[in-house]
Amino acid sequence: MSLSWGQTGTGRPLEAPPGRRVTVQGMSQLDKLRQAMGPAGVDAVWISDPANVRALSGFTSPKDAKVLVTAHAVTLYTDARYTVQAQEDSPLPAFIARPPETYQHAAPSLSGLRVGFEAEHMTVAVLEDLREHWPDAHLIPLRELGRGLRMVKTQQEIEAVRAAQALADRVYAEVRPSIRAGARERDIALDIEMRLRQAGAETAFDIIVASGPRGAMPHGVASDRVILDGELVTIDMGARLGGYHSDMTRTVAVGEPSDEMLRVYRAVLEAEEAAVAAVKPGVRAADLDTLARDILTRHGLGEAFAHSLGHGIGLEVHEGPSLRGVSTDVLEPGMLVTIEPGAYLPGVGGVRIEDLLLVTENGHEVLSRAEKDRL
């Protein structure tokens, strides 16, 4: 039986294990956060976004935890279900309790301080509780705090995503022969999920298997539709391994596609490979989007490209940087990004091809190695 937050025990401090205070990847994120606090106009930050909780603490059940960061201290807050796990996962000193004890424990250190909170991850009810228990603190909403915190990955994070992508590549290669006429979309998706789980991973998101006219839906998750000869099938899949995500899309041909869909496929592949080739430090993310979009426009498919070129990936499937036309992000070494142009023709079909890349000091490394169809 799963225990709820409200069923946990009384509050008590839990010291971090000796020798582990500065040894996990979260410490560099902590330094980044503290550097950002002054410009953000805050003296402390209450972290509630699970991805940011994990990035800062290493704690692997971040949905049931918070982190309080001040100029000179940092504390992980979770409940008694995770007493042992907090010690094993995190280098941070922890306080084991449930609200309102967590708020009461933090209150003395926050008196007179400007305390930032993550506006996108704070309910009105919890905000009212904080105001009640921290009457001497000045609560300040912060937006998109985690974007700068997690955009540039540590080597440990890069290797985690690399492993997730290598697993996804392997599973795709195993399943690829079953993508044929007469197969059901849902059966292909279930096969992918089963193989990922057997390997110790989870699906990073709902697996997309969109065949024939359903390929015109960018998020066409698998249905009961049976694949027909002569159709294109879009497979969008990823693995979640050790908390980190991969993401890759391939569009494959079953039999001989129509001349129109062959034309669309080749245009999307040209746009994808051109954008991949242009990835390097110092490149504006918006310029990559424009590059791919201009190629598709020259092929008469500009209006059919219905989404941004890509996104960052890590503890979340979609995180910074943003690769869209209005993005102000600039690529830096250590960023992990996807390149995924697509073209979607309602009632006819669609194509999307996506690779996962690491931005390196001198250019990029393509982490997704799964074979692409050459039509």
Question: Quick check: 11 pLDDT over 80?
Answer: no
Write down the pLDDT at residue 149: 83
Summarize the confidence of residues 43-57 as an average pLDDT. Answer: 96
Question: Quick check: 14 pLDDT over 80?
Answer: no
Write down the pLDDT at residue 148: 79
Taking only the tens place, the pLDDT of each residue in 314-371 is 999 999 999 999 999 999 999 999 999 999 999 999 999 999 999 999 999 999 999 9
Taking only the tens place, the pLDDT of each residue in 260-287 is 999 999 999 999 999 999 999 999 999 9
Write down the pLDDT at residue 188: 98
Write down the pLDDT at residue 19: 41
Label residue 15 by pLDDT band (50, 70, 90): low
Write down the pLDDT at residue 1: 30
Pairing between β-strand 74-78 and β-strand 65-70 as defined by DSSP bridges: antiparallel
Write down the pLDDT at residue 364: 98
Summarize the confidence of residues 178-195 as an average pLDDT. Answer: 98
Summarize the confidence of residues 168-184 as an average pLDDT. Answer: 98
Question: Quick check: 211 pLDDT over 90?
Answer: yes
Neighbours of 19 (CB within 10 A): 8
Summarize the confidence of residues 26-42 as an average pLDDT. Answer: 85
Write down the pLDDT at residue 162: 98
Contact by Cβ (8 Å): 234, 208? yes
Write down the pLDDT at residue 207: 98
Percent residues over pLDDT 90 in the chain: 89
Question: Quick check: 8 pLDDT over 70?
Answer: no
Q: By mean pLDDT, which of 30-34, 203-207, 345-349 is the weakest?
A: 30-34
- Helices marked H in 137-242: 145-150, 155-175, 185-198
CA dist 97 → 24, 55, 251, 357 (Å): 24, 21, 49, 41
Taking only the tens place, the pLDDT of each residue in 135-174 is 999 999 999 877 778 999 999 999 999 999 999 999 999 9
Question: Quick check: 28 pLDDT over 80?
Answer: no
Q: Report which residue type is found at 210.
A: A
Q: Please give the model's pTM, rounded to 2 decimal places.
A: 0.89
Cβ-in-10-Å burial (0-12, 13-18, 19+) of 332 comes to: middle
Write down the pLDDT at residue 182: 98
Distance CA 175, CA 111 (A): 58
Summarize the confidence of residues 7-13 as an average pLDDT. Answer: 52
Write down the pLDDT at residue 282: 98
Angle between helices 101-110 and 124-133 (to 10 degrees): 60
Question: Quick check: 102 pLDDT over 80?
Answer: yes
Only one residue has tokens 């830096």, namely 332
Q: Report which residue type is found at 278.
A: A
Question: Quick check: 24 pLDDT over 90?
Answer: no
Residue 339, H or E segment: strand 336-339
Question: Quick check: 5 pLDDT over 70?
Answer: no
Contact by Cβ (8 Å): 309, 289? yes
Phi, psi of 323 (to 5 degrees): -105, 75
Question: Quick check: 191 pLDDT over 80?
Answer: yes
Label residue 29 by pLDDT band (50, 70, 90): confident
Percent residues over pLDDT 70 in the chain: 93
User: Token pair for residue 18?
Assistant: 């000796």
Full set of structural domains in the chain with CATH: 5-148 (3.40.350.10), 155-366 (3.90.230.10)
Question: Quick check: 190 pLDDT over 70?
Answer: yes
Neighbours of 155 (CB within 10 A): 9
Write down the pLDDT at residue 26: 45
Summarize the confidence of residues 60-85 as an average pLDDT. Answer: 97
Write down the pLDDT at residue 16: 52
CA atoms within 13 A on the CB side of 199: 23
Across the chain, what does the average pLDDT equal? 93
Contact by Cβ (8 Å): 200, 187? no
Q: What is the DSSP string of 43-71?
A: SEEEE--HHHHHHHH--S-GGGEEEEEES
Summarize the confidence of residues 29-57 as an average pLDDT. Answer: 94
Distance CA 375, CA 373 (A): 6
Distance CA 93, CA 177 (A): 50
